[in-house]
């Protein structure tokens, strides 16, 4: 008889199983404390793979919770809703360790600023190369 799994491997499996049981138990108790709109279950299969040893809090917990944060630009107090988090982590492919930092208005502004910067960088590269015509870029 041969043992195919190392002790370390088995220990880690036991730990994972234990963590999953705990997460399920928490989710089962949850509706008592929170209205359904405030939390959304996590589907770990849809998350971006992470190379870290740690686990983000929502994976351990098993569900997303509305998360308060302060906008880094205007300082407004905001809520990153559970549903928006699910969208970001599971559908948009956001890293498990990224979080919301800007309110909707500032995010929009930042996006425009980045676009302008990219465009400017594109123009700089083009001017350096001379090979491409300005018209091509400006048509976009």
CB of 84 to Zn ion, least distance (A): 15
Cβ proximity to Zn ion: between 27 and 71 the closer is 71
Cβ proximity to Zn ion: between 82 and 103 the closer is 103
Element containing residue 25 per DSSP (H, E): helix 7-29
CB of 76 to Zn ion, least distance (A): 5
Write the CA distances from 43 to 32, 55, 90, 140, integer angstroms.
21, 14, 8, 38
Site for Zn ion in 51-90 (CB under 5 A): 71, 73-74, 76
34 in contact with Zn ion (CB under 5 A): no
Q: Which x/- pattern, by CB under 5 A, does the window 92-121 give for Zn ion?
A: -----------x--x---------------
**The dihedral formed by the CA atoms of 20, 85, 76 and 106, expressed in degrees to the nearest 10:** 150
CB of 91 to Zn ion, least distance (A): 23
Check if the beta carbon of residue 135 is closer than 8 Å to that of residue 121.
Answer: no
Element containing residue 78 per DSSP (H, E): strand 77-80
Site residues (CB under 5 A) for Zn ion?
71, 73-74, 76, 103, 106
């Amino acid at each position: 008889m041969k043992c195919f799994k190392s002790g370390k491997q088995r220990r880690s499996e036991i730990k994972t199983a234990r963590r999953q049981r705990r997460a399920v138990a928490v989710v089962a108790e949850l509706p008592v404390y929170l209205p359904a709109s405030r939390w959304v279950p996590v589907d770990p299969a849809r998350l971006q793979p992470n190379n870290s040893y740690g686990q983000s809090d929502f994976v351990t917990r098993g569900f997303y919770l509305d998360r308060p944060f302060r906008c880094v630009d205007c300082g407004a107090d905001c809520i990153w809703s559970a549903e928006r988090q699910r969208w970001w982590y599971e559908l948009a492919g956001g890293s498990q360790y990224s979080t919301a930092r800007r309110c909707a208005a500032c995010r929009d502004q930042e996006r425009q600023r980045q676009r302008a910067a990219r465009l400017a960088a594109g123009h700089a590269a083009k001017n350096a190369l001379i090979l491409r015509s300005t018209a091509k870029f400006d048509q976009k």
